[in-house]
Amino acid sequence: MASSKTLVAAVVIVIIAAVAVALLFSQQRQQAPSPPSASQTSTQSQITTQPQTSTQLQTTSSAASLSGSLTVLVPTGDPTLMPYIELAADEFMKAHPGVQITVEPVPFGQMVQTALTALQNRNPDPALIIFYPSQASTFAPYLMDLRPYFNSGLFNRSDIPMSAMVSVVIISKNGTITKIFGVPFQMVFGYVLIYRKSIFDNATLQAEFKREYGFDLNPLTWSSWDQLIDAAEFLQSQHVAKYALLFPDGLQLAIFNGFLTVFYTYALNDSCAGIPADVAKGAVPTPGYWAYFSYTPSGAVNVTIGCPSFVQALRTYKRLVQFQPPIDVQAMEYDQLRDLFLTGDYAMVAAWTSFIPIYNNASVSKVAGDIAIAPLPGGRYPYGTGLAPTFIGINPYAKDPQLAAEFIEFLISPQMYKLGAEKVGFVPATISGVEVAAQTPSMSWLQPFAPLLKAGANVTDLQRLTLVNRVTNFFTDMRPYFINQVANYLRGQQDAETTQMNIYKTWLNIMKIS
């Protein structure tokens, strides 16, 4: 684990960028289906509640009042997600003996279709669906509108960072929120650069690198992708590890996310991409999918794929993945990023912070205790690193939506988060959750997060940040085509300009806006 000073520096740089938008919850409601009615309010002060302070695990309802059954659809792969859901389900059933919760695991690649089939067929199960930002727009038309639960105070809006809400908010052109379809309950920061301290702290290597390249072998001081690539080339030549850098390029989703990390840093300085001014200043460095879409002056939806920054990012991305096996030999998807760095074969990896517990697990990891963390591409230009919350939504055809909402409230309670941090190393998505989790010795690296998550800036273009949520086929149709084209570029089958224009024209042609 990185030193306290290193972690604080990395976290400060990354989290200062978090969005904190003062959203006003609309009185408008979707016509069908909807949760049980709740009084609607329009001001922030009317929809917030105080965090619970009791140390006992509890829900807002008495044990005798809750009964029934729930099925929770949970994607596999994250080393702490499934254990946390199972732990919470067990605790909830202890508190409410009349409730039966079934946790249904599903491989990531099958998750969207499994959930969509149930929702489109109006099946009551699964009652609860866990999903990621990349899948949010796909589920937006189908999942229940949760505004009544926020407005009633069951979900404590004041405790949830607004930066985590952007992917699950539908907003009209006049700024009115028309739907909130998910609750963030797990916070993941990424991609971050995780690197081997034993390599980077080597005084001989440091001196030789400084003589040759003119800057320090210290990721916290880097300010560009070029510096990261120079360091990887140097480490590869020194044979300090089998591979210098492990970077996401998997054919399922990792190309989509890995490239976005790079594209966003170039788009910030590209007027064609039109990144909102306060975002470009670093107020909200959230390299989300929203950066691919923008409104034209006439109100139509355009894509930023055709901008010069896209080609710049493609060329840099290809240089970043050169230090690992080619994608047709071993594509680096989520599982590979999590598991291969454990072997000690890599000096650096671009990874999610959710991998930290397993990287530091000495029973399975050869790099346990030997890792430090920096934002991407480096500490002096951290804008490739952002927030990637995990969400939970309610099936509107569930037998008991209120019971499902009660379980969500329990899932995001400080008491449950404390237990999750202690038992499985789970990282919460709420401010109070991070505060209590950080008190766990093994999770002390979280300590700088809570005060920084409270900070933020007003965003002047919330419509832009949530526009992608209206693109209903973003994950199902547009993502696969994008990945295929970028993979062909990495294989050397086409140049960057051809790749750009193929994606640009096809996206404009197939894009569906709700």
Please give the pLDDT value at position 452: 55
Please give the pLDDT value at position 240: 97
The DSSP annotation for 266-330 comes to HHTT-TTT---HHHHTTS-----GGGGEEE-TTS-EEEGGGSHHHHHHHHHHHHHGGGS--HHHH
Q: Report residue 33's pLDDT band, with 50, 70 and 90 as the boundaries.
A: very low
Q: Is the pLDDT of residue 458 over 60?
A: no
Residues 414-443: what's their mean pLDDT? 91
Please give the pLDDT value at position 281: 61
CA atoms within 13 A on the CB side of 444: 8
Q: Is the pLDDT of residue 53 over 90?
A: no
Do the beta carbons of residue 116 and residue 82 sit within 8 Å?
no
Q: Is the pLDDT of residue 6 over 50?
A: no
Provide the percentage of residues in the chain whose pLDDT is more than 90. Answer: 66
Query: Letter for the amino acid at 402?
Result: Q
Q: Report residue 124's pLDDT band, with 50, 70 and 90 as the boundaries.
A: very high
Q: What is the pLDDT of residues 64-103, one digit of tens each?
A: 479 999 999 999 989 899 999 999 999 999 999 999 999 9
The helix-helix angle for 479-490 and 308-320 (nearest 10°) equals 60
Please give the pLDDT value at position 249: 98
Give CA–CA dist 276/464, Å, rounded.
8
Q: Report residue 474's pLDDT band, with 50, 70 and 90 as the boundaries.
A: very high
Q: What is the pLDDT of residues 315-339, one digit of tens each?
A: 999 999 999 999 999 999 999 999 9
Q: Is the pLDDT of residue 410 over 50?
A: yes
The H or E element containing residue 359 is helix 356-359
Give CA–CA dist 110/104, Å, rounded.
12
DSSP 428: B
Between 52 and 29, the more confident residue is: 52
Please give the pLDDT value at position 19: 30
Q: What is the pLDDT of residues 355-378, one digit of tens each?
A: 988 999 999 999 999 999 888 998
Q: Is the pLDDT of residue 306 over 80?
A: yes
Kindly report the backbone phi and psi dihedral angles of residue 203, in degrees, each rounded to the nearest multiple of 5, phi listed first. Answer: -60, -35
Please give the pLDDT value at position 195: 97
Between 27 and 165, the more confident residue is: 165
Q: What is the pLDDT of residues 159-216, one digit of tens each?
A: 887 778 889 999 887 788 899 999 999 998 889 899 999 999 999 999 999 999 999 9
Query: Which of 16-25, 297-306, 364-373 has the least mean pLDDT?
Result: 16-25
Between 371 and 4, the more confident residue is: 371
The H or E element containing residue 237 is helix 225-238
Please give the pLDDT value at position 301: 92
The structural domains of the chain, ordered by start, are 19-187+389-454 (3.40.190.10), 254-311+467-510 (no CATH)
Under the phi-then-psi rule, with left for phi > 0, alpha for psi from -120 to 50, and beta for the rest, what region is 299?
left
Q: Report residue 418's pLDDT band, with 50, 70 and 90 as the boundaries.
A: very high
Please give the pLDDT value at position 13: 36
Q: Is the pLDDT of residue 221 over 90?
A: yes
Please give the pLDDT value at position 446: 74
Q: Report residue 451's pLDDT band, with 50, 70 and 90 as the boundaries.
A: low
Query: Letter for the amino acid at 12?
Result: V
The DSSP annotation for 142-193 comes to TSPP-HHHHHTTSS-GGGS-GGGTGGGEEE-TTS-EEEE--EEEE--EESEE
Please give the pLDDT value at position 30: 30
Please give the pLDDT value at position 21: 32
Q: What is the pLDDT of residues 393-404, one digit of tens each?
A: 999 999 999 999
Task: For the chain, give the mean pLDDT.
Answer: 85
